[in-house]
A and B are shown apart, each in its own frame.
Chain A
Amino acid sequence: NAGVTQTPKFQVLKTGQSMTLQCAQDMNHNSMYWYRQDPGMGLRLIYYSASEGTTDKGEVPNGYNVSRLNKREFSLRLESAAPSQTSVYFCASGDSGRGNTIYFGEGSWLTVV
């Protein structure tokens, strides 16, 4: 099993450019998440999807959009990137039947210049 796969691993964007981070999981989980991690801030939830067809805002949704394309895939889009969005982004998936233990991808390092 690949688990949670996210792409790209690294990306440099110019301010104002747009991009989409892709995420796919092969564990048949209902829930999927996007987090960002900044030094000293821990992980902050951007958006999550409790099940296919639903998405909800987390702590820091401004500047982002998401799409739950199907049960496997959950993408995160930056429509107009800003330097404040320089961060490491993690996709995760989980199964509420296991107390919502979640499984993380390896991260995407995004730099906005």
Chain B
Amino acid sequence: SQQGEEDPQALSIQEGENATMNCSYKTSINNLQWYRQNSGRGLVHLILIRSNEREKHSGRLRVTLDTSKKSSSLLITASRAADTASYFCATVPGRSFQKLVFGTGTRLLVSP
């Protein structure tokens, strides 16, 4: 079964608005990562947050992690049409440094 579940499954916003996506997972983790997938392409790594971190920023991206709730959120500020893509969270469960397990993804549509 999937380790991560993203919420919402789909999100539609206007350019300039913020987009927030959530991820819940089931087991303890070493780190949590967010990836982006443009239609018909492979996934691209966006940001990694370790289990001992609570918040991380990268450009217009802000990721939070709450290990007590087993959840993470990805915030994209000032969205652009080019941010239209699917976003996936992925976890490295427990002590496993090798196996990355993905959630089901959030489809983001940013309209001009």
Interface residues in chain B, defined as those with a beta carbon under 8 Å from any beta carbon in chain A: 1-2, 30-31, 33, 40-45, 48, 50, 88, 92, 97-105
Contacts and interface: CB of A to CB of B under 8 A. Distances in A.
Contacts of A59: 1, 101
B42 A48 contact: no
A106 interface: yes
B104 A42 contact: yes
Contacts of A45: 99-102
A60 B82 CA distance: 33
Contacts of B104: 40-42
Interface string A72-113: 000000000000000000101010100111111111000000
B32 to A, nearest CB: 10
Nearest to A101: B45
Contacts of B99: 45, 48, 56, 58
B7 to A, nearest CB: 13
